[in-house]
Structure 1
Amino acid sequence: MKQKFIPAFTLAMLLVLVALPLLFIILQAIFPHFSAGSWQDAFAGVSPLLRDPQLPAMLGGTLTIAASVALLSALIGLPLGVVRGLFRLPLAKLWDTLFLIPFLTPPYIAALSWTLVLQTQGYLQQLTGVNLNDLLFSRSGIVLVMTLNIFPVVYFAVSRSLLASGQRLALVARVHGATAGRAFWHITLPMGSPALAAGMLLAFTLAIEEYGVPAALGSRAGVVMLTVGIEKKLADWPIDLPGASLLSLVLIIVALGGWWLQRRLVGEKEVTSITGKPGENHGAGAGILLLPAILVMSMVALLATGLPVLSMALTGIMSTLSGGVSWHNVTLSHYAALFSQQGDALSALGTSLSLAFCAALVTGTIGLLAAWLVVVQKIKGRGIIDALSLMPAALPGVVVGVGLILLWNRSFWPVSPYNTWAILLLSYCCLLLPWPVRYVSSALRQLGGNLEPAARVHGASALQALRLIVLPLVSPAMLAAMLMVFAIASRELVTSLLLAPAGTQTVAVFIWRQFEQGSPGQGMAMATLTLLCGLMLMLGALAIVQRGERR
């Protein structure tokens, strides 16, 4: 009975978190009056959507910006990742930390930080007299801001792939007469191409689902994206649920199209070494390339990490922006206001931390069960569980928000999480479920298939083997994934804006509202604290993973 309970429970949770919200989006898109309980006029909303003059601009803006971000992320992340993966660099872990910070910085915070730096009378103009306001509020500016925030996914994918594979085969080619360039082009680069393609795909996916940057910069730049269009259809009166659902489907199709293209390009190509497990890669000496490599990495780190973080921290201690950068304008009043009992900051912080903690527990549990059923138990129907558990990776946050609204804002539910904090928890769990699934699945595949069968032979049930053998062995990977879920969930913006009930604020909503209300000082003070907490959690997660790999 218990053996049947675990698959049934896991499948039920995946249906609630993933399948049902997606199903209700599809039904609302097909039947315009579905929210009113009517099945009439099927596909009647398609024609108005196609006639919408904003549709080509939204779709074109989304595709061009996402493709530009993916390509530019590759142009930055590939050479930096190659240098990090192939050569011995001084303070190598410091470079990893510096390039980790942009990924941990929520894109909307990065956009707001760059606004404070580059806008008219911003920090750059105050200190140097240079005004780059027109560059910031343009399509190029949006692409640059998003790229500086997203390129680390390519950097880490390439560098970790090369660190794992090493240069042994390239050195063999050099011994047999190949030049350094030919060895890199024909051996090293093909072995890293799957990681590069995966990183570019992730960059494309992150770009098409981004809401904060186009919302902060797009209106003044005349650029619209699908995420902003969906949010407006839900926020502006009259609310257009069919239009939001159809645009959500378009966004899903774009995301799945990116996955399909990546599979077509590299999915059927497998580059492997048949000489056994590679030894530890200590890297080669960079020689004359060391100084140029350090200079380039320093410049990228300054642009991607230094200036936005400095802007964020500086704004948090400036009394007023108009007062300029001077000692007389320094104050700690913004931080004092955050911890004042009269403000909303403590409540927002408590809400975000509580929701993030619960999301980490829920996703960790479901991720463990889903990965165990697919990888170890290999139950019948495991393909459905695997697909549902990983599908949120292709679902933008705004789409998840729309699906949860359509699903739970119904009169026929006896109890509904809609308009409560629980709806936020559901959205975070749906969005972040792939993290624990991927981490635990990878850890389970490294365990081999002997330990659990041995326990079963000695009389242990499947549940006992899971609890006493599998869980302790995969706990480092699971804990690392849960820490990442906690860090990301604590600053999620778009679903929080769509789903937060009246009177409830999260950290992300608090920061966004502070800028809307003209109080950037408090917003950036909260952003600085959020970034520091996220960085400590992520470094802790990486340390746990590395400790687990050494055991």
Structure 2
Amino acid sequence: MPTSTGHGSSQPRWLFPFVLIVLFCLSVLPLGRLAATGILSLLRGGGDGLISDPALWKATWNTLASSFLGMLVSVLLGGLIGLLLTLFDIRGRTLLGFLFMLPMMIPPQVTALSWLGLTGPSSTLLKAIGMAPPLGSPQPLYSLSGLALLLGVQSAPLVYLALRAGLLALPRDGIEAARLSGASPFQVLRDIILPLALPGFAAGAAMAFVSNVGNFGIAAILGIPAGIYTLPTLIYAKFASFGTNTFADISTLSGVIALLSLAGLLVEERVLKGRDYRIIGLSGLSQVFQLNGYRLVAELLLWLLMIIILILPFSALVASSLAPAYGVPLTLKTATLHAYEEVVLRQTAIRSAFRNSLFLSLSTALGLLLVTVLMGYVVARSNRRVAAVIGTLADVPYALPGIVLAVACILLFAAPLPMIGVSIYGTIWILLFAYLSSFLAVSLRPIASAFRQLDPSLEEAARLAGAGFGRRMRDILVPLVAPAAGASVVLVFLIACNELTVSALLWSAGTQTLGVAIYNLDDSGSFNLASALSVLVVVLVLAMMGLLELLSGRLPKGVVPWRS
């Protein structure tokens, strides 16, 4: 095996081309196919009918309004909790951070179902405690404001993460100097911390907006029954009523979603343009302020928020799963495990969904592990420009809304593969390809971070001793990055197992996943079965997050989101 690419590099000659081929296949090829189809469609006038369709503009307005309002909710929630848990002496901060991250880890369709079970006249939980609205009362969540509220709850952890990362990077000595000069805690917060934390707020708001634009699960479960279509659900409806112009229409709609997402990121850049946020001094700002007598009030506020956005909806989900039918009051006499027996033992489609999700999640996690260990090594050993290009190409499929990636895969694989004449469209393999593309960045980040923390002299000493690339990877590098690699496997498995947005367009008979199964059960009116399956998914999420918590002590910073 050749072990040098020249100029003293220890990388084998095949490694960098391998990374480029992977990035081309998983990122450039599908998104390039989507862009080409959209451009050709517009040049041929194929989008004229769609552009003049009032449904497009109504869906665009609904998408913008719900995403913007949801962003405001997420900034309010994520900003408040980020400030309190980072800057103030709150007890139980790790547990509170762990709980606050759950809405982001739980599938959006499960979030929507749990809140539907909590509100409205048919709420099993409200009926059990005698607080249900009168029959015939409207379901408040079947509205644009209800859609925005749940989008905000789902994306609030993104704001929390971005703000917390920015706050932890602020200089301690600057804050201490202000305090020693007589500034009150409020003045320090207003005049120093909040202005310097603006990049974190802006980044979190932009990520929340982009996440809301592409959210399919909440928009489908709350919006479609109310006749409120967003761009992702309009694509789903167009695809369900397949016609001669379907591919042209959905590629154009996907382009609109991508442009809206890009606009959100450009607004963030515009907000920060012309501002200099360079800081000097020791970072690691944490627990700056003592709340003293107000600490109990702040802790009660935080726990009240956790009860409202997490514990009550999950309790409603459990209550709905134990009721014999949706809307039946839950009592000791009516409580039953029938729904769990049905989804675990009797429903063959759900058992198939379990198998498919397990296969796809494990295959994606392990397949990406093999690729990203090599890719992470290249990122860590390359100059900044090359590393930035690799990171960007890996990030793009994950950053774009999942519905856009799904459309790209449909366009790429609608025809049989060239030369071999085999089509993977309508099979589980197109789902696997989409998962590999979508979650490449999730697997790469912790592994690349771990490689960057390794001292290059370890590998250099082994190379000078005659160890080849394979020997160095096997005996030195892989064991050292193993904890981060294990975390990447858990993270990818966790996210892929509950995925819906990509799968909604790509699944077919025999290939439905857990996310699709939950949506289909609710869509068919089996709310108690959908609730039972959702409870099992939440338990799985908690188990995976608990495993990450156990590994957290051996992982690089930033791999476990709820830890500093």
| TM-score, length-scaled by structure 2 | 0.89
Contact 2:63–2:231 (Cα < 8 Å) also in 1: yes
1:150-196 deviation digits (Å, cap 9, x = unpaired): 21222233335435657553232110122222211232224433332
**Residue 83 of structure 1: aligned partner:** 84
Name the SS for the 1:249 alignment partner.
helix
Name the SS for the 1:418 alignment partner.
coil
Name the SS for the 1:339 alignment partner.
helix
**Residue 261 of structure 1: aligned partner:** 267
Contact 1:256–1:394 (Cα < 8 Å) also in 2: no
1:111-130 deviation digits (Å, cap 9, x = unpaired): 12222222333236523143
**Residue 257 of structure 2: aligned partner:** 251
**Residue 407 of structure 2: aligned partner:** 402
**Residue 131 of structure 2: aligned partner:** 128
Is 2:538 the partner of 1:537? no
**Residue 223 of structure 2: aligned partner:** 218
Q: How does 1:144-159 map to 2 (within 5 A)?
A: 144-159=149-164
Which letter does structure 2 place at the counterpart of 1:22?
L
1:88-131 deviation digits (Å, cap 9, x = unpaired): 22222221222122122211111122222223332365231436
Offset, 1:73: 0.8
Contact 2:119–2:126 (Cα < 8 Å) also in 1: yes
Contact 1:29–1:45 (Cα < 8 Å) also in 2: no
Deviates more, 1:333-342 or 1:174-183: 333-342
Name the SS for the 1:447 alignment partner.
coil
* C-alpha distance 532-521 of structure 1, shift in aligned 2 (>3 A): same
1:37-94 deviation digits (Å, cap 9, x = unpaired): xxxx834123223212122212222122212212221111112111101122222222
Name the SS for the 1:285 alignment partner.
coil
Which letter does structure 2 place at the counterpart of 1:63?
L
**Residue 7 of structure 2: aligned partner:** none
**Residue 20 of structure 1: aligned partner:** 29
Q: 1:361 aligns with which of 360, 363, 366?
A: 366
Q: 2:313 aligns with which of 308, 312, 329?
A: 308
Which letter does structure 2 place at the counterpart of 1:493?
L
Tell me how far apart the structure 1 counterparts of residues 386 and 176 of structure 2 sit (CA, whole Å). 45
Is 2:70 the partner of 1:69? yes
Contact 2:121–2:133 (Cα < 8 Å) also in 1: no
**Residue 497 of structure 1: aligned partner:** 504
Is 2:17 the partner of 1:8? yes
Deviates more, 1:87-96 or 1:141-150: 87-96
* C-alpha distance 135-521 of structure 1, shift in aligned 2 (>3 A): closer
* C-alpha distance 403-364 of structure 1, shift in aligned 2 (>3 A): same
Deviates more, 1:73-82 or 1:316-325: 316-325
Contact 1:337–1:343 (Cα < 8 Å) also in 2: no
Which letter does structure 1 place at the counterpart of 2:17?
A
Q: 1:175 aligns with which of 170, 180, 201?
A: 180
Offset, 1:424: 1.0
Offset, 1:267: 7.1
Offset, 1:506: 1.2
Which letter does structure 2 place at the counterpart of 1:27?
A
Deviates more, 1:440-449 or 1:471-480: 440-449
Tell me how far apart the structure 1 counterparts of residues 282 and 272 of structure 2 sit (CA, whole Å). 23
**Residue 475 of structure 2: aligned partner:** 468
Contact 1:190–1:271 (Cα < 8 Å) also in 2: no
**Residue 38 of structure 1: aligned partner:** none
* C-alpha distance 319-124 of structure 1, shift in aligned 2 (>3 A): closer
Tell me how far apart the structure 1 counterparts of residues 507 and 460 of structure 2 sit (CA, whole Å). 46
Question: What value does the CA root-mean-square deviation take over the aligned residues?
Answer: 2.5
Unaligned runs of 5+ in 1: 33-40
Offset, 1:16: 1.7
Which letter does structure 2 place at the counterpart of 1:440?
I
Offset, 1:382: 5.0
Tell me how far apart the structure 2 counterparts of residues 166 and 285 of structure 1 sit (CA, whole Å). 18
1:348-370 deviation digits (Å, cap 9, x = unpaired): 11211111011111223333322
**Residue 35 of structure 1: aligned partner:** none
**Residue 241 of structure 1: aligned partner:** 247
Name the SS for the 1:93 alignment partner.
helix
Tell me how far apart the structure 2 counterparts of residues 333 and 130 of structure 1 sit (CA, whole Å). 27
Contact 1:244–1:402 (Cα < 8 Å) also in 2: yes
Tell me how far apart the structure 2 counterparts of residues 365 and 108 of structure 1 sit (CA, whole Å). 31
Offset, 1:548: 2.9
Deviates more, 1:2-11 or 1:248-257: 2-11
Offset, 1:278: 4.1
Contact 2:153–2:309 (Cα < 8 Å) also in 1: yes
* C-alpha distance 277-291 of structure 1, shift in aligned 2 (>3 A): closer
Contact 2:185–2:289 (Cα < 8 Å) also in 1: no
**Residue 458 of structure 1: aligned partner:** 465
Q: 2:334 aligns with which of 329, 353, 360?
A: 329
Which letter does structure 2 place at the counterpart of 1:103?
M
Unaligned runs of 5+ in 2: 3-11, 558-564
Offset, 1:449: 4.3
* C-alpha distance 67-323 of structure 1, shift in aligned 2 (>3 A): closer
Which letter does structure 1 place at the counterpart of 2:487?
A
**Residue 204 of structure 1: aligned partner:** 209
* C-alpha distance 169-379 of structure 1, shift in aligned 2 (>3 A): closer
**Residue 442 of structure 1: aligned partner:** 449
1:486-525 deviation digits (Å, cap 9, x = unpaired): 0110011122221123222211121112112222222211
Tell me how far apart the structure 2 counterparts of residues 392 and 5 of structure 1 sit (CA, whole Å). 25
Tell me how far apart the structure 1 counterparts of residues 417 and 357 of structure 2 sit (CA, whole Å). 30
Which letter does structure 2 place at the counterpart of 1:128?
M
**Residue 295 of structure 1: aligned partner:** 300
Offset, 1:475: 2.3
Tell me how far apart the structure 1 counterparts of residues 451 and 274 of structure 2 sit (CA, whole Å). 24
Tell me how far apart the structure 2 counterparts of residues 486 and 144 of structure 1 sit (CA, whole Å). 28
Tell me how far apart the structure 2 counterparts of residues 401 and 120 of structure 1 sit (CA, whole Å). 36
Offset, 1:323: 2.5
**Residue 561 of structure 2: aligned partner:** none
* C-alpha distance 317-282 of structure 1, shift in aligned 2 (>3 A): same
Tell me how far apart the structure 1 counterparts of residues 399 and 502 of structure 2 sit (CA, whole Å). 15
Deviates more, 1:135-144 or 1:357-366: 357-366
Deviates more, 1:136-145 or 1:403-412: 403-412
Deviates more, 1:63-72 or 1:128-137: 128-137
Contact 1:49–1:243 (Cα < 8 Å) also in 2: yes
Tell me how far apart the structure 1 counterparts of residues 150 and 296 of structure 2 sit (CA, whole Å). 27
Is 2:532 the partner of 1:520? no
Tell me how far apart the structure 2 counterparts of residues 310 and 52 of structure 1 sit (CA, whole Å). 42
Contact 1:338–1:345 (Cα < 8 Å) also in 2: yes
Is 2:143 the partner of 1:138? yes
Tell me how far apart the structure 2 counterparts of residues 166 and 546 of structure 1 sit (CA, whole Å). 25
Which letter does structure 1 place at the counterpart of 2:214?
E
Name the SS for the 2:197 alignment partner.
helix
* C-alpha distance 342-162 of structure 1, shift in aligned 2 (>3 A): closer
